[in-house]
Amino acid sequence: MNTRHIWLIAKKELSGLYNEKTIILAIALQLFIAMFSSFLIVGLTTMYDPSALSRFSGISYGIGYAGADSPLPGYLEKEGNFRVYRMDLSDAVAALRERKLAGVLYVPHTPPAGEDPVVVTLYLVQNDLQSSMIGSRLKDAFSAYEGDLRDLRNTCLTVTPIDLLFPAERSGGDFFEFIYGLLIPLLLFLPVVISAALIIDFITEEYQLATLETLLSSPVSFPDVILGKVGAAVILVPLQAGAWLLLLAANGVTIAGPIEVLFLVSLIAVVLICLSALIALHYRERTNAQTVFSVGLVIVLLAVLAIPQNPVNMVVRIATATAGPEQWPVLGLLILGSIAMLALVRTYAAYVGIKAPLKEG
């Protein structure tokens, strides 16, 4: 093994990427996904928690109310989100259709302490952002009324639940799980998957474009060529993932232990890239290699995610600063795994050598 040769090959691959300018597309891709996710976050915040945007805080919505008396108007007006108008049902629905109201409630004359359910009818405008926005506010009022009714009828109930006292509702936190539990792992592992697909191109290209012989006429050995390519693919991962973390930080999303997270992601990248290098070396032809790799990726991903304390979960835990001592065995195993995979790739490369692609005779 000659580290200088490996580095040379890695540099060649990287400058090849740079010259083709396709790396710009890769960056554009990532930016695009960033826009995409910011759209999701901003859009959903407005949808589910309108007060998250300051301009909604002062607005109260009009609700038409018809039918029997109930405590509902009181609950609705308590938070200042709604203003309730007592109206005739037909008028109210017509006003709703003209958007002079945000919703209409009809409460039936069912006795509150009776045996029959109280079925309240709620009229909303279809296909409307506002309808989904007021939904969560309405829910609070309904839940309060439900509690009242339960108290009235509790003689018929047999079990009493453990009573937990929750603090008053506060805003925020809606996207914590989405950002840390889904978006961040997605963004960090996107470069890993891209690089793993890239190594297949690096390797099969040499076979299929018949450039291998030229390369091997230099004093670089074949296993070193492959390791160099692996190196180039691996280097791209922490670079891209790091850029993601910076971009997220610029958007106000910071993670705990960024260095450790990047290290862990890079180790996972080594294992996955080696796996796909083995596939590429086996087929030495792009279509088959990419097919097997994509199916294999799904299998590996499913299997890994199904194991408790898997490396991806560990990345999430480190990013949220909830990782305890359980992270060290995972880290140790990953280090051992990457070394073993690199050795395997080297051995297999030496064994396969420059045989012709495994296809058409």
Partner 1 sequence: MGSIAAILAISRWEVKRVLSQTTRSVLPLAIVLIIALVIVSGFAAQSGVHLQDGIYRLGVNDPAIASLFASDSRFNVYLTDTATLRTYQNSYNVIIIDKKVSAAKTDRGTAALKALERGYQRYIGTLYSSENDLFAAYPLWIDQQYVQSELNFQATEGGQYLGVRPMTTNPYPDGPVEKVSEPVSSLPLPPDDLRQELVRASTKDDPLSRYTDVLKPPAEMGNVRVPSQLTPSLPFDSIIAVFIFIFPLYFISQFFMMSIMGERLDRRGEPLLTTPLHPYQILVGKALPYFAGMCIASLSIALAIGGSPLLLIPLLPVMLFFLATALIIAMLARSFKELSFISIFFSTVITSYLFLPTIFAHVHIVSLISPLTLVVFQLQGEGFTLTDYFYSTALFFITSGVLFFVAVVNFKEERLFGQGKFLTRLMEFVEDSISREQPYLSLLLMNALLIPFVFMAQMMLLVIFFNLPMPYSLVLLICTAALIEEVAKSVGIYALLSRPGALVSFKALGVAAVVTALGFLAGEKLFLFAMLSQVTQSVFGSVLFLSLQVLWIPFLLHLTGVLIVVLMLRYGGRRAYGPAILLATLVHSAYNLIILAGVM
> What CA–CA distances, in Å, run from 249 to 31, 175, 243?
14, 15, 10
Least Å distance, CB 289 to partner 1, is 10
Least Å distance, CB 134 to partner 1, is 9
- When the beta carbons of 155 and 217 are compared against partner 1, the nearer one is 155
**Cβ atoms within 10 Å of 186's Cβ, excluding its own:** 12
Least Å distance, CB 132 to partner 1, is 4
Separation between Cα atoms, residue 191 and residue 244, nearest integer Å: 10
Least Å distance, CB 14 to partner 1, is 11
Least Å distance, CB 259 to partner 1, is 20
Least Å distance, CB 78 to partner 1, is 15
Sheet (strand 103-107) strand order: 82-86, 61-67, 103-107
The residues with which 86 forms a beta bridge, in sequence order, are 65
- When the beta carbons of 200 and 273 are compared against partner 1, the nearer one is 200
Position 342, amino acid? L
Contacts of 185 (CB under 8 A, 6+ apart): 312, 315, 316
- When the beta carbons of 221 and 243 are compared against partner 1, the nearer one is 243
- When the beta carbons of 288 and 338 are compared against partner 1, the nearer one is 288
Least Å distance, CB 67 to partner 1, is 7
- When the beta carbons of 142 and 348 are compared against partner 1, the nearer one is 142
- When the beta carbons of 259 and 307 are compared against partner 1, the nearer one is 307
Q: Nearest 10 degrees: CA dihedral of 291, 294, 300, 301?
A: -160
Separation between Cα atoms, residue 115 and residue 153, nearest integer Å: 8
N residues, the chain: 361
Task: Assign 86 to helix, strand or coil.
Answer: strand
| Residue-by-residue DSSP string for 277-325 | HHHHHHH-SHHHHHHHHHHHHHHHHHHHHHSTT-HHHHHHHHHTT---T
- When the beta carbons of 2 and 344 are compared against partner 1, the nearer one is 344
